[in-house]
Amino acid sequence: MISFRLSSPIFSSLRSSYTNNRSSMSLPSTISVSQNSPSSVICDGDSFFRSVLSSMEQVYLNRNPTAKAILELARSTDANQICYDHLAYRTFGVNGHGIESMSKLFLDFGYTQREELRFPKKKLKAFWFSPPPTPSVSSGSGIHGPLPRVFISELLVDQMTKEAQDIIKKYTGLSAAGHEHSALSSALGCLTWPKPSHVEFQQLARESEYAAWTLVNGYTLNHVTISVHRLVSPLNNIDNFNQFIQDKGFKLNSEGGVLKVSPDGLLLQSSTVADSIPFEFSDGFREPVPCSYIEFAQRLVLPQYKDLPQDKVEEVHRRDGFEVGNADKIFESTSKDQLTRRA
């Protein structure tokens, strides 16, 4: 069972902010809020934590029909559970709204911060977080299966032009203490700042599509990643899985090639192109904006474990972590070039 501190900022935020902020946040009609009593939440940290992640997942699936359809397809052909390799979030690196705003939740529930990754051309940095050592989960799918890794990135706002910085600082400033409730925002599918104008969105998009995406999507899940090697043959091979997805008519991110391979050849990744959702800007302008996508990852067995029998291979025997080159291309799943590219 995962333990947590009742005095932690995240616990306080999740326990009290829904009541304090429900009048100013628009809760999607498709999201149901758990009616668990406070005592049941306090007594079972693991259930509480997974309930929060489940709400984030539901917001993600409601907004991204491609992800929902692919997960259903995978389940329909696979007798085993669908495991998530990692969850990913985007943030603004300014005034506490960056990586630390989302990492609080995961650190409070036993996650460990790991390596930093830098993306100079995109003016981004990221950290990934490994899940706590918990008993093996033999059943359950997605969020209710083995706890996934977490990948949180942030835009290095101080490296942007003054015009872009002014827009970002305007909205993060208007969110007041919103960065203290980023996990709640993600679980409810709400922005912690007001909707931007179309002009400001376009101005940010010209300089950084990452910035524009974050302005209209906030802390919602950027993507979830299916752990391909945990599927049943033949879909446990990422080439086969990619072909399966494309044969069903889904468009994959082609930046750097459909398959992204780490230099050591042990981390293989691919992703769909993001879905778009209608968005009404503060000036009344309506336009589809990029939302989220779904990724696929195959982690190969490390050289020192190559002689292990296949039925003895566990996640600890496989390549861990992330790769800058792969992630840099995966970021393009929400880019205009990929969204407008023909399949």
What residue spans of the chain are helical by DSSP H?
A: 9-21, 38-43, 45-63, 65-77, 99-108, 162-174, 182-188, 198-207, 209-217, 238-247, 324-330, 336-340
Least confident range from 27-36, 81-90, 158-167: namely: 27-36
**Which residues span the domain enclosing 58?**
44-132+141-340
The string of pLDDT tens digits covering residues 329-343 is 999 999 999 999 865
Range of lowest pLDDT (71-75, 210-214, 286-290): 71-75
pLDDT of residue 135: 62
Residue 43's pLDDT is: 38
Q: Dihedral of CA 277/58/324/161: which sign? A: positive
Within-domain flag for 332: yes
Residue 36 falls within a domain, yes or no?
no
Quick check: is 26 in a domain? no
Q: Report pLDDT for 133.
A: 85
Say how many C-beta atoms besides its own lie within 10 A of residue 27's C-beta. 14
For residue 303, tell me if it sits in a domain: yes
Q: What burial class does residue 72 get, using C-beta atoms within 10 Å of its C-beta: 0-12 exposed, 13-18 middle, 19+ buried? A: exposed
Residues 160 and 206: beta-carbon distance below 8 Å: no
Rounded average pLDDT over 132-149? 81
Rg of the chain over CA atoms, in angstroms? Answer: 20
Helix (H) or strand (E) holding 224: strand 223-227
Residue 317: inside a domain, yes or no?
yes
Mean pLDDT over residues 4-25, rounded? 40
Determine which helix (DSSP H) or strand (DSSP E) holds 121, and give its type and residue range: none
d(CA 105, CA 155): 20
Packing angle between helix 198-207 and helix 162-174, nearest 10 degrees? Answer: 130
- Bridge-partner residues for 328, per DSSP? none
Mean pLDDT computed over every residue of the chain:
88
The predicted structure's pLDDT at residue 143: 92
Give the tens place of pLDDT for each residue, 31-66: 333 333 333 334 367 899 999 999 999 999 999 999
The helix/strand/coil state of 80 is coil
- Tell me 3's DSSP state: -
Residue 11 lies in a domain: no
Assess if residue 14 is contained within a domain.
no
pLDDT tens profile 281-304: 999 999 999 999 999 999 999 999
Report the alpha-carbon distance of residue 177 to residue 198 in Å, rounded. Answer: 24
The per-residue pLDDT for range 235-263, each reduced to its tens digit, is 999 999 999 999 999 999 999 999 999 99
What number is the average pLDDT over the span 311-327? Answer: 96
Domain assignment of residue 9, yes or no: no
Domain count, the chain: 1
Q: Output the domain CATH number for residue 246.
A: 3.10.180.50
The amino acid present at 19, given as its one-letter code, is T
Proportion of the chain above pLDDT 90, given as a percent: 79
Integer Cα distance of 20 and 230 in angstroms: 41
Amino acid at 165: Q
Cα–Cα distance measured from residue 150 to residue 84, given in angstroms and rounded to the nearest whole number: 10
Is 20 a residue whose pLDDT tops 80?
Answer: no
